[in-house]
Chain A
Amino acid sequence: MINAPVILTEGLTRHFDDIIAVDDLNLEIYPGEVLGFLGHNGAGKTTTVRLLNGVLTPTSGKAQVLGLDPSTDGAELRRRTGVLTETPSVDERLTGYENLAIFAALFNIPPAAVESRVAEVLEIFQLTDRAGDRVSEYSKGMKQKLALARAIIHQPELLFLDEPTSGLDPVITRQVHTLIRELSRDGNHTVFLCTHNLAEAQRLCDRVAVLENGRMVALGSPAELARDLWKGMRLEVETTTEAIPAAIKALTAIPDTREVVQEQGHPVISLSLNLRDQVPGVVSCLVAAGVPIFRLTPKEPTLEDIYFALHENHKEMPA
């Protein structure tokens, strides 16, 4: 049985006067999926989250989220979604406990269950000891953890996370990543992850959507995007320390090679090629220059490579 999409948009568009914030967005996201929503500042990520939660109405097009129309069923929909906003938006005059207890009431958690649920999420994010302190005394990372705790306090089916690990130390970042994986693993939770952190997206996301000036320019798994969009190749060449200068000279002389750099402290050079067909030429050139080759390894492109390739392509495209 094929599950119905959790999020389905058709031509979703939002203008602010003359500015097109989201342009003809067509998306399908399925239960249990972690979708990375990538884009630079102002690309339209936050506006999309607002449209999908019914806090903004679209200029045209439509959306269906958890089977509901955000424009008309916003309140019912938001009962089932959790949102971590770009800024933590926690009330600094209140304590951590008060922040969570009040939102537990707003999300209609039964009064008898509020205390235990708040204690549970405080424990998850290791904030129990500071629960009685005012948030103004929290560090940036603690505020971010509190905002995350608030976003999941009502156990939402669909979680929108805008830069969830921003400002967090590596230990907590790993905990957040584990939490996201655990949420998606049971198949009942879906995560919509807006991020600038491409390594994080590569690590966590089943698929990524790339947004440029409000328009989605790519959608797929990192591997699919690499296959469809990345025509070049990254190579690593291992040689001797003495042969490094000659190797760099020979490699930079080959047309269309880029980013020829030595790995720090190792007799290894990495480089990017525009086409796979150039690999034999690289080998011939190094042999002709008398460079001994101990290892030649092709490297899979990272999401970062793909993202920047897309960004460059888009810049070159006529408007």
Chain B
Amino acid sequence: MGRIVLVIRLALRDLRRRRTEAALLLIAVLASTTTLTLGLVLRDAASDPYQSTRAATKGPDVVAGVSQADDLAELGKLAIASGVTEHSGPYPVIAAKLEASGRTSDVQVEGRDAADAAVDQPEVTQGSWVGDGGVVLEAAFADSLDVGVGDSVALDGRSFKVVGVAVTAAMPPYPGASCIVSAGCINGAIPDDRNLPAGLLYKPGLAWLTQADVLSLAMDRSALSYVMNLKLADPDEAQAFVDRNGGHYGGAMPMQTWESILADATDLARDSQILLLIGAWLLGLLAVASLSVLVGGRIADQTRRIGLLKAVGGTPGLVAAVLLAEYLLVAVVAAAAGLTIGALTAPLLTESSAGLVGGAGTASLTWSTIGLVTAVALGVAVVATAVPAVRAARSSTVSALADAARPPRRTGWLISLSARLPVPLLLALRVAARRPRRVVLGVVSIAVTVSGIYVLLVLNAFLGEQPGTGAYTEDQVAVLRRVLLVWTVILLSLAAVNAIVITWATALDNRYASALARALGATPQEVTVALATAQVLPAFLGAVLGVFPGGFLLFAAINTITGGDGDKATLPAPWQLVALVLATVLVVAALTSVPAHLGGRRPVTATL
């Protein structure tokens, strides 16, 4: 017990002593835990809320509709068809224009009974259920219109009071609602050169009135469609039931299964989630790169402390435990903070789930999400820390007490090659040759970042084309753009932290070599340029590898996972890729200039 207290106390003291490095460590792990949390929360948003909604609303297994009163007999037959256990409806539906807060939107208005239905009884999340003169709005639709209980709205010019907001599992939430009116609907964007056919509803929302109110809105009976909700003995047989009863799309009596509603309702959340999960793994790799450099630098700084611990009787195991404990503590804090930030910001990316129970406003954290995020944070810390911690624990006590630096690597061919180059390049190549592992980390860090940016360019171009193709609505494009923005900001922030940290670690590690070079006649500018060039060269290599094969493979992987059609994507133009590589090199040069400048101007005499 005493030993555990000692380990924790030493770890905490050291973290407090080196606050800046501790903060950088925290940021590195936090970036990946936040993104992973967002991805996992969205995964849950993609399935759990729909299931909860289905359970809470006695969700139908099949929704069937007819476009005229003459076909009501067909629905009647369907209600007693084999496999049906319960049904509700048929309910009259009418297409209307809804005006609220100065905005006009198309809407499908369903006439319902005030009494609870056996199948598809929408769950009221605010206010109450329908009554004469009172309208209930679908939650995502109400959210989008910014209308709440007590507000007034006009339906085809007639004023109704909003008495409630509700969710249903009988159709996907706004703006992906299924079409249950005879006029037909379009949810995607309309190409500029086409006019919307007369009567067609554009991105309709869903509202419920009493049947009497719906009938009073209809000019004549031919404007009405009818919808019926069915419960089956075996919900898994829903598609077979539809096939058997001629409920194909475009037929006289179109039907929709609960599985297809689930897929439509969670399509956007699933795409966002895939993007975020891939982003989380990329950021995890970047975090390992940052941590490895930070930990290596910290442990080099802790050599004497390690020697002292061992001199007073600390075993190699205790030393390794103290070093590991520091980073595990940081990882636990980063996991907790990442879970909190991820859970709080997830609703910004799950707008469509506002129309589902449990999806509105609060994203729920599950134990599996908490466990996975914490495990990844600890895993990143252990992977980055284990090697330097064990190496430090096994080092000689005498040399540790003397604060002996870890001997640099000799890369003979690079030393010979550098002799033929101008002084800054000569020094730069030798700086790189001293720590090849750090160079590899720098290359990997930039390659991962550039791969991410490559994919972002492809996805951005894809989303830019959406208004013309209609695979996503404008609102969905906005949500996906927000996901990409989160990706970009976190990815670039972590890459910037990495570039600065690696340069600073290099500058510190080369204190002695830089001072010696200056004592032998190198100017401060030459040393500064050398330290910066030692980062820029790996950055250039990383940027090239990040474009090909990095970005190409990452995009292929995303395509495979999402089942997307890569042929439809617009790959970045050659000039964009050249600009990306050049911009990466310039940004790395700018980011590394300050630590390199400081490193190149350290007083020589203090070091030697």
Instruction: Say if A and B assemble together.
Output: no
